[in-house]
Amino acid sequence: MSTSLRRQKVSRPWSLVPVRLASLIARAEALADSGQRRILGITGAPGSGKGTVAQAVLKALGPSAVVVPMDGFHLAGAELDRLGRTDRKGDPETFDVAGYVALLRRLREPDGETVYAPEFHRDVEESYAGAIAVPSDVPLVITEGNYLLLDQGPWSKVRELLDEAWFVAPY
């Protein structure tokens, strides 16, 4: 974990309660069955299992859900070089937060069109634009990332766009 992350102010209006994956899947199914588009955020520290939980929920819900990770909004390596932030890749200020917020807003109100989201590829350490299709009839969008509950700067706009946020911590 980077030093700058440890100094970030995070609002914690939740309590940590151990739950089983089956309970999380049941909760996600209820969100998907609500009759309108819902956005579920899954957050936690790097390596906490948020991606694993997101994929397990996706597998259980099938075509009723799509995963749109926050990682697709990493700034490109060339831009990090230009900004002098290459050694800090992954810190909050190395993401296109405004782009992520704009995408969440578009996903919140499906207008009959497929929305495309970027996807981060670890093998090349870059994002590919338009790699994740989110059809308008998919009721649940699952987004996961480290900073969904960060209450600082532009990140503070993310929480209000999530219908529910889960914090994943290893035990």
> CA–CA separation, 9 vs 161, rounded Å?
19
What pLDDT was estimated at residue 2?
Answer: 36
What pLDDT was estimated at residue 5?
Answer: 36
What pLDDT was estimated at residue 56?
Answer: 93
Instruction: Determine, yes or no, domain membership for 107.
Output: yes
CB atoms within 10 A of CB 161: 17
Confidence of residue 15 (pLDDT cuts 50, 70, 90): low
If DSSP codes are grouped into helix, strand and coil, which group holds residue 40?
strand
Answer left, alpha or beta for residue 33, where phi above 0 means left and psi between -120 and 50 means alpha.
Answer: alpha
Q: Which tokens hold the place of 132? A: 């994740």
Q: At what angle do helices 21-32 and 50-61 cross, to 10 degrees?
A: 60
Instruction: Determine, yes or no, domain membership for 56.
Output: yes
Q: Which pLDDT tens digit goes with each residue over 119-157? A: 887 777 676 778 899 999 999 999 999 999 999 999 999
Instruction: Determine, yes or no, domain membership for 4.
Output: no
Q: Which pLDDT tens digit goes with each residue over 66-88? A: 999 998 888 888 888 888 888 87
Domain count, the chain: 1
Instruction: Determine, yes or no, domain membership for 5.
Output: no
Instruction: Name the range with the highest mean pLDDT among 14-18, 85-89, 165-169.
Output: 165-169
Supply the CATH number for residue 62's domain.
3.40.50.300
Instruction: Determine, yes or no, domain membership for 12.
Output: no
Instruction: Determine, yes or no, domain membership for 96.
Output: yes
CA angle 145, 148, 152 (to 5 degrees): 130
Instruction: Determine, yes or no, domain membership for 10.
Output: no
Q: Which H or E element spans position 143?
A: strand 140-145
Domain region containing 91: 18-167
What pLDDT was estimated at residue 92?
Answer: 87
> CA–CA separation, 8 vs 109, rounded Å?
31
pTM, two decimals, is: 0.85
